[in-house]
Amino acid sequence: METTQIKSKSFVKRILTPALPVMMGYIPVGFAYGVLGVNGGLSTLNTILMSLIVFAGSAQLMATGFFAQGLNPFSIIITTFIVNLRHMLMSASLSTHMKNWRKIEVAGFCYELTDETFAVHSLRFNDGHTAALPSMTINIICQLSWVIGSILGALAGNLISDVRPFALDYALPAMFIALLLLQVHNRKHVIVAITGALISILLWKFGITQWNVILATVIGASLGAILETSNKKTKSMESTPMEVTHE
């Protein structure tokens, strides 16, 4: 009995606790996607299948708008591909923690990796929680919450013509803010976060709407690396004892 309780507490602490903020955001946003997908001309089945196969929140929402406009499939595929290029950066960032994983585990993990789960795993991996099974389980739970929201939204799609009165679009930014706050531990993190956000907004204002996130991420990460390197050099110089010469 005690062993079961210990395992249950461990499951909650290691998997459900880090997945919970993402789940709370995915269900309402997935619901909004489901409504928009059905109202945009997709069938209920295709709307749900996109959440199972594609599983890319911003790309799915954008694709539904393109379907509603009647754009050709090739344009939709190319545009969503460009938007999702940021996943290459996220996967590369986490790859150093997956050296001991099997290839099939890496492939499964990266398939379900999103902006939100990347933030969660960045914290977990830096704390040493790099086991494959718990990490993949977190991703599966998060995707299931997105799929559940999509199913509910698709089924209610014909009854709701506009999701804006429900303020469901606020759930995703709120979730990102919560995940960001969990990663801020010192002044350098604040500087990098604000710099990245400002650069992304400026690029968007200048019409760079497809590359703004990727470019802002690269610049922000580069700034963080420079600050971290500078800080390490400063600490190294301070800790190095000065040589005393005797004439």
Coil, helix or strand at residue 162: coil
What is the per-residue pLDDT for 238?
Answer: 63
What is the per-residue pLDDT for 198?
Answer: 92
Record the tokens describing residue 118, joined without a space.
């990347």
Helix (H) / strand (E) element for 111: namely: helix 103-111
Q: Is the pLDDT of residue 173 over 70?
A: no
Cα separation, 29 vs 169, whole angstroms: 7
Query: Hey, what amino acid is at 145?
Result: S
Cα separation, 147 vs 84, whole angstroms: 19
What is the per-residue pLDDT for 235?
Answer: 65
> In the structure, what pLDDT confidence band is assigned to residue 218 with cuts at 50, 70 and 90?
confident
Cα separation, 43 vs 64, whole angstroms: 11
What is the per-residue pLDDT for 149?
Answer: 93
Q: Is the pLDDT of residue 138 over 90?
A: yes
Q: Is the pLDDT of residue 6 over 70?
A: no
Render the burial of 107-141: b for 16+ CB within 10 Å, e for the rest.
ebbbebbbbbbbbbbbebbeeeebebebbbbbbeb
Helices and strands (DSSP H and E) totals, the chain: 12, 0
Count the Cβ atoms, other than its own, within 10 Å of residue 55: 19
CA distances from 171 to 31, 39, 80, 95, 133 (A): 11, 20, 22, 29, 28
Residue 132 CB partners (closer than 8 Å, separation 6+):
98, 101, 102, 105, 109
**pLDDT for 73-132, tens place per residue?**
887 888 788 777 778 888 888 988 998 999 999 999 998 898 889 988 988 898 888 899
> In the structure, what pLDDT confidence band is assigned to residue 2 with cuts at 50, 70 and 90?
very low
What is the per-residue pLDDT for 16?
Answer: 83
What is the per-residue pLDDT for 239?
Answer: 62
- Rounded to the nearest integer, the mean pLDDT of the chain is 80
What is the per-residue pLDDT for 162?
Answer: 66
Return the percentage of the chain with pLDDT > 70, whole number: 79
Between 122 and 173, the more confident residue is 122
As a whole number, mean pLDDT of residues 20-30 equals 87
Residue 119 CB partners (closer than 8 Å, separation 6+):
176, 179, 180, 182, 183
Q: What is the pTM of this model?
A: 0.68
**pLDDT for 37-87, tens place per residue?**
888 888 899 999 999 988 887 788 878 877 877 778 887 888 788 777 778
> In the structure, what pLDDT confidence band is assigned to residue 179 with cuts at 50, 70 and 90?
low
Cα separation, 47 vs 34, whole angstroms: 6
